[in-house]
Every structure is written in structure tokens, then in C-alpha cells.
Amino acid sequence: MITKEDVEHIGWLARIEISEQEKAEYMEKLNSVLDYFGQLDEVATEDVSPTYHVIDLHNVFREDVAAESLPQEKVLANTENKQEGAFKVPRIG
Amino acid sequence: MVYENPDGVMIGLEIHVQLNKLKSKMFCGCSTDYHDAEPNTHTCPVCLGLPGALPVLNREVVKAAIKVGLALEGEIAEETQFHRKNYFYPDLPRGFQTTQYDYPIVSKGKVVIEGEDGEHEVGIWRAHMEDDPGKLVHIGSIEKSKGVLIDYNRSGMPLIETVTAPDMRSPKEARRFLDKFRNILEYLDVFDGNLEGAMRMDANVSVYGGTRVEVKNISSHKGVEKALLYEIMRQKNVIRRGGEITQETRHFDEARGVTIGMRTKEEAEDYRYFREPDLMPMKVSDWTPKIKETLPELPDAKRARFIEQYGIADMHAKALTSKIMLADFYEGVCKKGTDPKQAATWIADVLLGELNYRDLVISSYDGSTIGCINDKDHSIANSTRVADMVDLVALFTDGKISDRAAVEVIRTILDGEEEKTPLQVIEEKGLFKAEDDLVTKAVAEAITENEAAVQDYLGGAEKSLNFLVGQVMKKTKGTADAKTAREMLVKELKG
């Protein structure tokens, strides 16, 4: 059961602001999702090994070869907040 | 002797090691060679966390992790996989770190260290692969910083995080563990420990009547030892005053040598680990036998072989194998026909001592020269050649120079501006051992010129003999062998 506090906590983790009205709405929706997943508990899975991935693939690797990186101008092209070749953000904490 | 551990100190470590010897990053082809580069010049959509970019794991990262696991005598998992550790911080462009959670690649290893009471085993709980975040640079001081600059060149660098059991019982043991651990990794050739940020450590520590406190992000072995000494003292004081230790994370202020409590978060950490859907699980335990064959001789095995093969003391074998480059240098000297015992003494006792005195740490060996850099200032470099060590030991064992002169040669070469061979130094400084008749003459002079000292010595004052030996050394400008001079004086005076 997801409570209002859970919704607030999830909102904080995702750094989004949620209004009181939205909290009630999300609580209801999240609970219905949870109920839906609850159906899985009805399936007998004692003898089934866990699925790590929906695609049955493993060991996908690349070789250790260095390739060209993006030029600095391109890296910083999408921001106005830059200084000395670095991204600039407000101080933290 | 059994170490009692009176305060019930328990220390566990988490060590992050950057696999900086690989050519490319963990999940993309960006070069790992960014240490002197401009900010944000070694990045791409993957390590910048741009939407839609997909990671593909570097095969060599997995191999290195298995190598480390085998060297730590750990178990390699049959199946292993990545998880996402979710949190927001500007150095983490995707909003999550790709790491391993309940299926780490390595578990249940151990490392034997020189403990407080002899050999002591430190358990390794796990070692796993994860990627490094970017680097933050505060504008101005941390407290007054107006903003933060982010360089993502480091983002996506492959790391191996090793977690030990809380098996260390003193800061000294923690330091010993770190020295040994780093040594093992250097033997494996998976990282260059001298590069900035190559090794970062967190330490957990508790004492009797307290609880576990974590000190985060310490960058040097000495720093870990200092942080732990301070933290144990602090915890003991709190308990003695009737206070209670709160479980918390603290930060180590290296300059002041103190740990500082970090602001307690209003919310508990909640990383919401879940399986990384963009990376496939791995079944790599069948790589293990092949990788095992490529493992080099590790420090403990090399130490035992040195004792066996060269007949040197354990103390010397231990010192010589404490760095792979030093061990190779020693064997290089021995291969040139130098007496292994003499070589061990001159390298382990004298050369190492002189390097330590100058804060020089060994950073390379190319088969003919050992390179060093200053621990505090990496722009200061130095070196010692195999050929010079071979010549120096030969000159000493042939009786051409005294041991004092040999030490002076080493010092002169280390401190000199120009490259010089031992022979050049000896000739320039006139360090050849004095001829016997010169010493005989000096002995005779010392006796006639120092009547009072002679009488004191004959009257039983042993110290006066030292004075007379000193006079002989002075007269021969230090070229006489002190032991011979002493023997000759005694013979003259007491017959």
C-alpha cells in the first residue's frame, strides 16, 4: 500500500514538486499499478530461475579500443552555463 | 605475542581503483588518457549521459576484475550483472551510477598483511565493477563557492571497488593493508597508482561501546591512517564523557587532520537499485582458468623466491618486493653478476632509505633505469640506473671505496644536476679508499698528536678510541675504512 508519505518521498527522490491534489491522484494510480503487479504473486515460480533480462543474451562486449571523442565546443553547445571549458552549475548543498 | 586490541577497534575499508591503464573508458570508446587534457575533451554521448546513448562494456574491464579477484584469492561469480544506483549529483550526468549490487563479480577473498602481532588475514567481502563520475571544481573555496565547474573527462572511467571485512584492528593495520593491496594491483599491471585520483578510499571504524562511523573519500594511504587515528580518539572521548556515537558519515579534512560530520540528510539515502536494462548479464567464470595462467608472480610468492634463490634475509626480500618495479630492478642488478646479498643491502637499505628521505616514490622501471617522482610534487623526478648500481657494488666489494664513500656516491648521484656514473663521482670527489701506508701514516700521526686521548684510552676510556678513529678519518679525508683504522689503532696502542 502506497501512502501519501511514499508519494512525497518518491517526488523528492525525483526532484519534482507535487501539489496536494496530485498527491491524492498519484497515490491512487500508483496503488492500482501495485495491485496489478500483485497478480504476479499468484504465479508459481518456485522452480523457475530468475530472469535477468527479457532478451536471452549475455556477454556483449566491445574491445578496448580508443575512439575519437566529441570536440569541446560540441559538448558545451547546448548550454549557456559554461566557463573555462567546463559546465557551470550553482553551488551544491 | 597476541595483540589485545584494548579499544575494540574494528576497521573496514572500501577502495576504489581506477583502471587507468586501459585504452578506453568502461562503456564507450573515449580515451582514458585525459589527465593533462582540457576539460570536456574526452567525452561522448555515452559518458555525457545524453538521451538515447547506449553503453557497451569494455571486455578488458571484466578481465581486469577477474585478475584482481584471483589475486585476492576470491571467488569469481558464475553469473554477474550491473545495476543502476540512482541519485542526483551534478558529477553524474545520467542520474545514476552503473555499478554491481547483489551479483558482484568477485566475492570472499583475502589478503594477508603484517599485523600488530605477526601475519594477519583481512577478509575481502567483495570486489565489483562500476563507473567513475565526472570531476567537480569549486570556484573559490568550498564554503564560499559561487558555483561549480564540471569536467566530464573522468566520467565513465572504469573502477573496481573492493570492500573488506572489518578485520583491521588499528590505523597501522589499515595502512599496511592499503600498501599491500596497492602493491598487488601494481603487480597485476591494471593501474598506475601515481596518477591523480587513481585510488580513493572510504574507511569504516568503530570502538567498544560505539557504532560504525564512515569516513569518506580519502585520497592517500597516509590520509587513511591519520583520519582513523583522529576518528578513534574522537569516538573514545565521546564515550568516556558518557556520550553516544551516532552512525554517520564524516569527511576528512586532510590539511587539518580532522574528521568533520557532514550535514545529516533530511531523508535517508535511497538509491533504488535496479538491474541495468541496457547491459546484458555476464557469464564469464569460464574465462578464469585462462586468466589465471596470465597472472604474474605475486608479492608473497616473489618474496619467498627471493629468499630461496638469492639467499637474502626476509627483511630485504620483503622490502624489495614491496614494489614490482623495485623487485625487477633488483633482479636486473643481480643478472649482471652482482652478489645478490650485497645488491639487496645496497638497494633495500641504502637506496630505498635515500629515496624515502627525499620523498621519492618509485614510479617506473624500463629494464635499465628505475624512475622516481616526488610524492608531494610530481614535477620532481629522479632515477637510478642498473649499470650504476652494478658498478657501485663492485667498487665497494672490491675494496676500492669504503661503505661511507659508497653512500656518498648514491647521494651525489641522486642530488646531482647532471647524470654521472659512480666512477666519475668517486674521481671528482677523491673517494677512492686510501692506500694502506697512507692510513698507517695517519694512525701514527693521530697517536703522536693526541697524547691525552691515547692516555685516556689506555686508562679504560673506550670513547677516546672513537676520537682517534675520527682523527684518522679526518687525515685521510674519509677515504680510510673506519673498521680498519680502528683495528690498526688498537694494534698500535695495545699491541
Read off the pLDDT of residues B463-478 as tens digits, 9 standing for 90 and up. Answer: 889 999 999 888 888 8
CB-CB contact of B390 with B423 (8 Å): no
What confidence tens digit (pLDDT) does each residue in B405-416 have?
889 999 999 998
pTM: 0.84
Return the residue of B nearest to A78 by Cα: B50
- Grid cell digits, residue B413: 648521484
What confidence tens digit (pLDDT) does each residue in B109-165 have?
999 999 999 999 999 999 999 999 999 988 776 666 678 999 999 999 999 999 999
Q: Using CB atoms, which residue from A67, A90, A92 is nearest to B29?
A: A67
Q: Residue B440 — very low, low, confident or very high, per pLDDT cuts 50/70/90?
A: confident
A12 touches chain B (CB under 8 A): yes
Out of B110-119, B163-172, B435-444, least confident range: B435-444
Does the beta-carbon distance from B275 to A52 stay under 8 Å?
yes
What are the DSSP calls for B433-479, one per residue? Answer: PPPHHHHHHHHHHHHHH-HHHHHHHHTT-THHHHHHHHHHHHHTTT-
Does the beta-carbon distance from B147 to A87 stay under 8 Å?
no
Residues of chain B with Cβ-Cβ distance to A68 below 8 Å are 29
What confidence tens digit (pLDDT) does each residue in B357-383 have?
999 999 999 999 999 998 888 888 899
> How much is the pLDDT for A34?
92
- To test the contact with chain A by mutation, choose from B32, B40, B81 the residue with the greatest count of A C-beta atoms within 10 A, namely B40
Q: How far apart are the first and last CA of chain B?
A: 48
Out of B129-133, B262-266, B444-448, B484-488, least confident range: B262-266
- Whole-angstrom Cα distance, residue B244 to residue B246? 6
Topology classification of domain B436-494:
Arc Repressor Mutant, subunit A (1.10.10)
Q: Is the pLDDT of residue B265 over 60?
A: no
Three-state DSSP class for B58? strand
Residues of chain A with Cβ-Cβ distance to B33 below 8 Å are 66
Torsion, Cα of B428, B434, B439, B445 (10° steps): -20
B265 touches chain A (CB under 8 A): no
Q: How much is the mean pLDDT over chain B?
A: 91
A53 or B442: which leads in pLDDT? B442
Does the beta-carbon distance from A9 to B89 stay under 8 Å?
no
What confidence tens digit (pLDDT) does each residue in A18-66 have?
999 999 999 999 999 999 988 888 888 888 887 767 778 899 999 999 9
Does the beta-carbon distance from A58 to B137 stay under 8 Å?
no
- Order of all β-strands in the sheet with B135-138: A82-83, A86-90, B147-151, B135-138
Q: Using CB atoms, which residue from A60, A66, A88 is nearest to B29?
A: A66
Out of B160-174, B189-203, B283-297, B312-326, least confident range: B189-203
Q: Using CB atoms, which residue from A55, A60, A85 is nearest to B56?
A: A60
Q: Is the pLDDT of residue B232 over 50?
A: yes
Does the beta-carbon distance from A60 to B40 stay under 8 Å?
no
A63 touches chain B (CB under 8 A): yes
> How much is the pLDDT for B491?
84
Return the half-sphere exposure (C-beta side, CA atoms, 13 A cut-off) of residue B197. Answer: 18
User: What type of residue sits at position B196?
Assistant: E
CA distances from B162 to B72, B119, B245, B470 (A): 10, 21, 26, 55
How close B179 comes to chain A (CA, Å)?
29
Share above pLDDT 70 across residues of chain B, in percent, rounded to a whole number: 97
How close B105 comes to chain A (CA, Å)?
13
> How much is the pLDDT for B264?
59
Return the residue of B nearest to A91 by Cα: B147
Q: Is the pLDDT of residue B169 over 60?
A: yes
What are the DSSP calls for B314-332, one per residue? Answer: HHHHHHHTTSHHHHHHHHH
How close B24 comes to chain A (CA, Å)?
5
Return the residue of B nearest to A82 by Cα: B149
User: What type of residue sits at position B195?
Assistant: L
Residue numbers of B between 72 and 101 with CB closer than 8 Å to A: 79, 81, 86, 88-90
> How much is the pLDDT for B303?
96
Q: Is the pLDDT of residue B267 over 60?
A: no
Q: Which CATH superfamily is domain A4-42 in?
A: Glu-tRNAGln amidotransferase C subunit, N-terminal domain (1.10.20.60)
The kind and range of the H/E element at B343 are helix B340-344
Strands B147-151 and B135-138 turn out to be antiparallel
A64 touches chain B (CB under 8 A): yes
Three-state DSSP class for B263? coil
> How much is the pLDDT for B252?
92
Q: Is the pLDDT of residue B208 over 90?
A: yes
Does the beta-carbon distance from A86 to B147 stay under 8 Å?
no
Return the residue of A nearest to B140 by Cα: A91
Pick from B35, B319, B298, B302: which is nearest to B189 by CA? B298
> How much is the pLDDT for B478?
81
CB-CB contact of B80 with B105 (8 Å): yes
A87 touches chain B (CB under 8 A): yes
CB-CB contact of B326 with B320 (8 Å): yes
B67 touches chain A (CB under 8 A): no
CB-CB contact of B484 with B472 (8 Å): no
Residues of chain B with Cβ-Cβ distance to A15 below 8 Å are 88
- Whole-angstrom Cα distance, residue B95 to residue B97? 7
Q: Residue A93 — very low, low, confident or very high, per pLDDT cuts 50/70/90?
A: low
Does the beta-carbon distance from B150 to A70 stay under 8 Å?
no
B257 touches chain A (CB under 8 A): no
Does the beta-carbon distance from B150 to A88 stay under 8 Å?
yes
> How much is the pLDDT for B462?
84
> How much is the pLDDT for B431?
77
B455 or B124: which leads in pLDDT? B124
> How much is the pLDDT for B1?
76
The kind and range of the H/E element at B111 are strand B106-115
> How much is the pLDDT for B60?
97
Residues of chain B with Cβ-Cβ distance to A13 below 8 Å are 86, 270, 272
Q: Residue B259 — very low, low, confident or very high, per pLDDT cuts 50/70/90?
A: very high
Mean pLDDT of B417-444: 81
**Per-residue buried b or exposed e for B274-297, using 16+ beta carbons within 10 Å of the residue's own CB:** ebbeebbbbebeebeeebeeeeee
Return the residue of A nearest to B279 by Cα: A60
Residues of chain A with Cβ-Cβ distance to B30 below 8 Å are 66-67, 69
Residues of chain B with Cβ-Cβ distance to A61 below 8 Å are 56-59, 62
Does the beta-carbon distance from B282 to A55 stay under 8 Å?
no
> How much is the pLDDT for B266?
47
> How much is the pLDDT for B481?
81
